[in-house]
Amino acid sequence: MANLSHNNYTQETLALHAGYTYDTQRTMSVPIYQNTAYSFESLEQAAARFGLKELGNIYTRLTNPTTDVLGSRLAAVEGGIFGVPTSSGSAAIFYAIANCAESGDNIVFANKIYGGTQTLFTHTLKRFGIQARVFDIDNIASLESVIDSKTKAIFFESISNPVISIADTLAITAIAKKHKIISICDNTVATAFLHKPFDFGVDISVHSLSKYVNGQGSALGGVIIERAGLNELIKDNPRYPAFNTPDASYHGLVYSSLELPCFSIRLITEWLRNIGATLSPQSAWILLQGLETLELRIKKHSQNALEVAKFLESHSLIKSVAYPGLESSPYHNLLKQYYVDSQSSGLISFEAQSYEAAQKICNSTEIFAMVVNIGDSKSLIIHPASTTHSQLSKEELQSGGITPCTVRLSIGLESSKDLIDDLKQAIEK
């Protein structure tokens, strides 16, 4: 079987076939190359690969045939040119930022994002000398006010976790392009089957593959996907000297001079090589299995979530519901503008009458498990202020729209009737 042309096939087909040609055994399933190092045909070949004159396997910390299929397949489905898998979604976000910024620089991020990512930006990056500045995702004009000559990346989530806002992607990327800054979109919740960030001007897409791509809560993983043509933004751009000045560790190599996707190549040669948050072949294989059914599952997640959201919105003991699929949502028009068939994935958040009511609901469900993960085939419930966002200050929680009454649901693939019945008894208990 030949490599599929990304231009000729749909996402559904690419999710099953892209990036893999039959090996010598003609296996239909991608083999697990449970391997650390690779034999060279000659010393000349070894030297050429270490000098980036020839691409090929050297050591699994950098590349591996199984993880390469995953990266290629995810890039094909999303419409990107190159995908670099990592050991987790957090590693993907850190590497994407570290590839753009260094000590003395700053990044800008949306106020409504996952708590672990916000902690990475506001605390961990500070120890690397990188400042993190915040803008209001609901007031895009605030973005330009925090950009300066040292701003190296603009980060946002396409669908935010846990308050389920939707980003006006075109408005954000227009500002990024105006200032020649790399835009990074976390597309974990939406997935490429509902939203394709590159179609709206995004430069880099990151995912936690542990969520909807995996779908079973059985493997950690992340990916960084580069859009075609990003080299043109980076080359000779004074914001990105690491790409435009000689790299002493590669004897003076200038990444922007490569005809290869330079953002991804530097991710591999600088960050995977030197720090090593590498995805294991076993995990890559598990994630490939999930990707094959993602298109079908995300439709069911979205369908179930809309039915559950409508029930919650109608219940007198629920103060408010955040789900863009509801016509009452302030993000409903953005959903129709950016998302396939106006589907908005499987995350819902709602406001209970009080903290005590939220606590009672979380403790009383039978089908919903109290778990901090999302995107599982099984339905999950959590109290963000006590768990996933507990490291944030009161001001940060308020800015992100999270209160002591906020409850987050990750809607699974069970019967929506059973899920509604479970929530009903927990709310009314």
What are the pLDDT digits (tens) for 36-94? Answer: 999 999 999 999 999 888 989 999 999 999 999 999 999 999 999 999 999 999 999 99
**Best CA proximity match to 387, nearest among 408, 412, 364:** 408
CATH of 11-290, one of 3.90.110.10, 1.10.3720.10, 3.90.1150.10, 3.40.640.10: 3.40.640.10
Bond into 162 cis (ω within 30): yes
In this chain, the answer to whether the domains covering 11-290 and 296-428 adopt an identical fold is: no
Say whether 429 sits in a helix, a strand or coil. coil
Share of the chain above pLDDT 90, in %: 91
Task: Tell me the residue type at 137.
Answer: I
Helix, strand, coil content of the chain in percent (nearest 5): 40, 15, 45
Residue 1 pLDDT level (bands cut at 50, 70, 90)? very low
DSSP-derived pairing of the beta strands 151-157 and 182-186: parallel
For the entire predicted model, the pTM comes to: 0.95
Q: What is the pLDDT of residues 186-242, one digit of tens each?
A: 999 999 999 999 999 999 999 999 999 999 999 999 999 999 999 999 999 999 999
Rounded CA separation 104/130 (Å)? 6
265-272: average pLDDT: 97
Residue 57 contacts residue 38 (beta carbons within 8 Å): yes
CATH of 296-428, one of 3.90.1150.10, 3.40.50.11540, 3.60.20.10, 3.30.70.600: 3.90.1150.10
**Position with higher pLDDT, 25 vs 182:** 182
Rounded CA separation 159/169 (Å)? 10
Q: What is the pLDDT of residues 94-145, one digit of tens each?
A: 999 999 999 999 999 999 999 999 999 999 999 999 999 999 999 999 999 9
Sketch the domain layout of the chain as residue ranges. 11-290, 296-428
Strand order in the sheet with 222-226: 82-86, 222-226, 204-208, 182-186, 151-157, 106-110, 131-135
What's the confidence (pLDDT) of residue 375? 98
Q: Which residues fall within 8 angstroms of residue 421, CB to CB, at 6 or more apart?
A: none
Res. 339: pLDDT tops 90: yes
Buried b / exposed e along 115-143 (16+ C-beta atoms within 10 A) = bbbbbbbbeebeeeebbbbbbebeebeeb
